[in-house]
Chains A and B, each alone.
Chain A
Amino acid sequence: MHGLVNRAVQTFVCHTYGAERWATIAGAAGLDVPDFEAMLVYEDRHTHAVLDALRRELNRDLNDILEDLGTYLVSHPEVARLRRLLRFSGVTYLEFLHSLDDLPVRARLAVSDLHLPDLVLREHATGEFSLTVGPGIPGFGSVMMGILRAMADDYGALAFLEYHGRSQCRDVISIRLVDVSHAEGRQFELGTPAG
């Protein structure tokens, strides 16, 4: 598993539950070094062990934890970078949804060995979508739930999301876009402030 994925789990736990909690989880997962490097690739078993230890330590459903992780990745000030990169995908939440299919390509342009699961968005009726999340990263569907929810807030859109579970290694999420400009949303300028 790419270090960026493992690192995301680590920073999420550290910022949300504290560094000590992370040390406990890393210990329970049997990590030799309790620190993932974002730009290295690790064996998948480490990721599985960490997620398992995380679920036990927090005593919560893993899908719920991973959804929080998705929300964290977009909304926590410490990781503002990902939110910015996602906002490049479209000017409105609707455009963002329609660009989700390109997300793995975008990720690979940024980090050539980062392979995200395939994403397929289907529009069933006006404002009614389903997103199919392909295999590759365990629990990525739940992470996407959190990301989609947080990005709706970011764009100021009102959307209802529902996780439809997993079949044949694919997660399906239904999205009902009620109002594209429900709230103000956060400002997004293409340029980053100097310095």
Chain B
Amino acid sequence: MTGDPTLNAVLHAFCPMHVQIDGTGHITGCGDTLQKCRPGQDLRGQRFLEVFELSRPRKVMSMAALLDRAGSRLHMQFRAPPCTSMIGVAVPMPDGGALVNLSPGISVIDAVRDYALTGTDFAVTDLTVEMLFLVEANAAAMEASRHLNLRLQGAKIAAEEQAFTDTLTGLKNRRALDHVMARLSSAETAFALMHLDLDFFKAVNDTLGHAAGDHVLQQVARRMVQETRDRDTVARVGGDEFVLILNDIDDRRRLAAVARRLIDRLEEPIPFAGEACRVSASIGIALSSQRPDGQIEKLMDDADAALYAAKSAGRADFRFCERRGDPSFHDDLSAANDRREPASRGSQLRPR
């Protein structure tokens, strides 16, 4: 069909993926790049429709059908693996055959890898190589951006944790407590708030020094965490002041047991540099159910008042907040005054 050497030279330079087909549907010639896609088999002499399966716009089963689709976009793929998809267009030739120009289209990224194509395999004016450059360059830039994002995210989490953590004890700080309180105020569940103040801590600080004081605070923090559950909150809100939020508890007996156990644990001597540091704690307890009006922020004041009452009563003790009209006012008194109640009795709290 193309005995014309000039036309052949043009085809090889401009269309390295072209196929020349004769009137019987056999391949009489093709571009070097297309031949490179079928290593080890000469495409010449094979039937075009046996090498390619033409699927869209509709199945093409014969040479006549192929010529029928001349000038329009064809979708096909190699019948033998790798079954690279191709797009192409056919032009009828005077001898009854056709000239088809092909391109891997969007499959080009797989094609260059599958067939180890190089820059010389594409026509000089073909933008495929530029496109591949862009794909690779963008992938590199995206990866760098992704790394940056991951590092920024890590730094953000660390900064937030730091902002919500008391650096000496590792407990939550006041800011974190505010967040927890805000969350609880919109939740429906009952909880108890304990305001805990260490007793005799100043004596430790004054006689054994700040290092001993810091050590005591750390040990006290550890014990409080041990005596509460994962879902509870323990925060250090001042020098030797702590707030505990115990979730899903409305039972005074259980709370009394927890408070008693906390005080007992904190009273255990804390060894430091050959000395035994001894502190205790006073606790004021307020229940969210005492504020049915939803004024959660007032709960802090309630617990504060109860703490003051405990301190006034001689320290190393706990008190519930007593509000006028509380239905369980008298039960509270009995629970609160039930001083040396064993830690396990009536308590469903599992220390972590």
A-B contact count (CB 8 A): 68
Q: Are B145 and A85 in contact (CB under 8 A)?
A: no
Q: Are A190 and B119 in contact (CB under 8 A)?
A: yes
Q: B112 contacts which of A89, A91, A191 (Cβ < 8 Å)?
A: A191
CA distance A81 to B137 in the complex (A): 9
Residues 142-164 of B, flagged 1 when their CB comes within 8 A of A and 0 if not, give 00110110010000000000000
Chain B interface, >50% SS class: helix
CB-CB under 8 A for A38 and B148, given A91-B120, A188-B118: yes
Q: Are A189 and B112 in contact (CB under 8 A)?
A: yes
Q: A126 → chain B, closest Cβ, in Å?
A: 21
CB-CB under 8 A for A192 and B137, given A37-B148, A91-B118, A91-B120: no
CB-CB under 8 A for A39 and B144, given A84-B136, A85-B137, A88-B136: yes
A111: Cβ under 8 A from any B Cβ: yes
Q: Are A39 and B148 in contact (CB under 8 A)?
A: yes
A125: Cβ under 8 A from any B Cβ: no
A contact residues around B120 at 8 Å (CB): 91
Q: A77 → chain B, closest Cβ, in Å?
A: 16
B7: Cβ under 8 A from any A Cβ: no
Residues 44-84 of A, flagged 1 when their CB comes within 8 A of B and 0 if not, give 00000000000000000000000000000000000001001
A contact residues around B134 at 8 Å (CB): 109-110
List B102-145 residues whose CB lies under 8 Å from chain A.
109-114, 116-121, 129-130, 132-134, 136-138, 140-141, 144-145
CB-CB under 8 A for A39 and B132, given A189-B117, A194-B113: no
Q: Are B117 and A85 in contact (CB under 8 A)?
A: no
Q: Which residue of B lies closest to A89 (CB)?
A: B133
A106: Cβ under 8 A from any B Cβ: yes
CA distance A78 to B147 in the complex (A): 16
Q: Are B117 and A191 in contact (CB under 8 A)?
A: yes
Q: Are B133 and A191 in contact (CB under 8 A)?
A: no
CB-CB under 8 A for A191 and B141, given A84-B136, A85-B136: no
Q: Are B148 and A191 in contact (CB under 8 A)?
A: no
A14: Cβ under 8 A from any B Cβ: no
Q: A95 → chain B, closest Cβ, in Å?
A: 8
Contact residues on B (Cβ < 8 Å of other chain), bracket? 20 to 34
Residues 138-153 of A, flagged 1 when their CB comes within 8 A of B and 0 if not, give 0000000000000000
A contact residues around B148 at 8 Å (CB): 37-40
Q: Are B133 and A88 in contact (CB under 8 A)?
A: yes
Q: Which residue of B lies closest to A191 (CB)?
A: B113
Q: A7 → chain B, closest Cβ, in Å?
A: 8
B contact residues around A81 at 8 Å (CB): 136, 140
A27: Cβ under 8 A from any B Cβ: no
Q: B15 → chain A, closest Cβ, in Å?
A: 18
Q: A84 → chain B, closest Cβ, in Å?
A: 7
List B35-74 residues whose CB lies under 8 Å from chain A.
none
Residues 157-189 of A, flagged 1 when their CB comes within 8 A of B and 0 if not, give 000000000000000000000000000000011
CA distance A85 to B110 in the complex (A): 18
Q: Are B132 and A88 in contact (CB under 8 A)?
A: yes
Q: B150 → chain A, closest Cβ, in Å?
A: 11
Q: Which residue of A lies closest to B110 (CB)?
A: A191
Q: Which residue of B lies closest to A107 (CB)?
A: B137
Q: Are B141 and A111 in contact (CB under 8 A)?
A: yes
A127: Cβ under 8 A from any B Cβ: no
Q: B135 → chain A, closest Cβ, in Å?
A: 9
Q: B119 contacts which of A39, A91, A106, A109 (Cβ < 8 Å)?
A: A91
B contact residues around A40 at 8 Å (CB): 148
Q: A39 contacts which of B112, B113, B138, B145 (Cβ < 8 Å)?
A: B145
CA distance A190 to B141 in the complex (A): 18
Q: B118 contacts which of A37, A89, A190 (Cβ < 8 Å)?
A: A190
Q: A155 → chain B, closest Cβ, in Å?
A: 12
Q: B141 → chain A, closest Cβ, in Å?
A: 5
CA distance A106 to B133 in the complex (A): 9
Q: Are A85 and B112 in contact (CB under 8 A)?
A: no
Q: Are B140 and A192 in contact (CB under 8 A)?
A: no
A contact residues around B114 at 8 Å (CB): 191
A30: Cβ under 8 A from any B Cβ: no
What are 21 sample pairs from A and B whose C-beta atoms fall under 8 A apart? A37-B148, A38-B144, A39-B141, A39-B144, A39-B145, A88-B132, A88-B136, A90-B119, A91-B120, A106-B133, A109-B134, A109-B137, A110-B140, A188-B118, A190-B112, A190-B118, A190-B121, A191-B109, A191-B111, A191-B132, A192-B113
Residues of B within 8 A of A (CB): 109-114, 116-121, 129-130, 132-134, 136-138, 140-141, 144-145, 147-148, 151
Residues of A within 8 A of B (CB): 4, 37-40, 81, 84-85, 88-91, 106, 109-111, 188-194
Closest CB pairs A-B (n = 9): A191-B113, A110-B137, A191-B112, A88-B133, A190-B112, A91-B119, A38-B144, A39-B148, A189-B116
